[in-house]
Chain A
């Protein structure tokens, strides 16, 4: 059981690891694409789980993720549109999208408690990685002051999401 649990966590982490981010020095257009992809994959997973989970606590969390990450993307898209920055897909944004697609495909094969655990484990790993990417790559490399401010502004929400996900994870054990 412990081995299964470890493998699940490892897989969840692997799906959201952002190796390209660690090495990258993205420009603002690439950062915009990374932000949009990062939020969109969480919206996609949240929409599925909000409809499929049997747990009200998990459904509430998933619904919140859909609401919050949709709002962040709306703000990000509005900003880059105003700045006339066209999001530029890159290895990191493509990796994020591919990881999100794999995660969603896996979640679709699960039901009940297995679905809840897989989703929440992934959410914990996902938010840890995104916060790390914000701190080490995205915020430091953002050139435009408004884009940098947006990234700084969104960080507390991701921290709160991570705390919520970890709490939920502890209740599912």
Chain B
């Protein structure tokens, strides 16, 4: 009888753990972001990304720009000519700010 009680307790613990963990979360689906370069400004001026997210920087200005990550040049587009686009795929999660150098 005592043994049966211990088994019930273990079973209850497993059930509680299973419920608290819930079903495995589906992997995050990469999403696409667009950053416009208009009037010598980036809109938005920062992005939050997850691994695999794609970011498209569209230079709508008449002059070339670079998109250069501010802190440690995590990414650097090189020269993006007027009315052209540069694409970047995030390798890690993070919030990035950028500028034209």
Q: Which residues in A have some Cβ–Cβ distance to B below 8 Å?
A: 67-68, 71-72, 74-75, 150, 153-154, 156-157, 159-160
Contacts and interface: CB of A to CB of B under 8 A. Distances in A.
Interface SS of chain A: helix
B40 A71 contact: no
A71 B39 contact: no
A71 B83 CA distance: 11
A150 B41 CA distance: 17
Given A72-B63, A153-B62, 5 more contacts: A68-B63, A71-B81, A153-B61, A156-B41, A157-B61
B82 A156 contact: no
B52 interface: no
Contacts of A150: 62
Contacts of B64: 67-68, 71
Interface of B: 39-41, 61-64, 79, 81-82
A160 B62 contact: no
Instruction: Give chain B's interface secondary structure class.
Output: loop
Contacts of B40: 156-157, 159-160
A135 B64 CA distance: 23
15 contacts: A67-B64, A68-B64, A71-B64, A71-B81, A71-B82, A72-B62, A75-B62, A153-B39, A153-B62, A154-B63, A156-B39, A156-B40, A157-B61, A157-B63, A160-B40
Nearest to A67: B64
Contacts of A71: 62-64, 81-82
Contacts of A74: 82
A150 B39 CA distance: 12
A75 B82 contact: yes
Nearest to B61: A157
A160 to B, nearest CB: 5
Contacts of B61: 153, 156-157
A125 B79 CA distance: 28
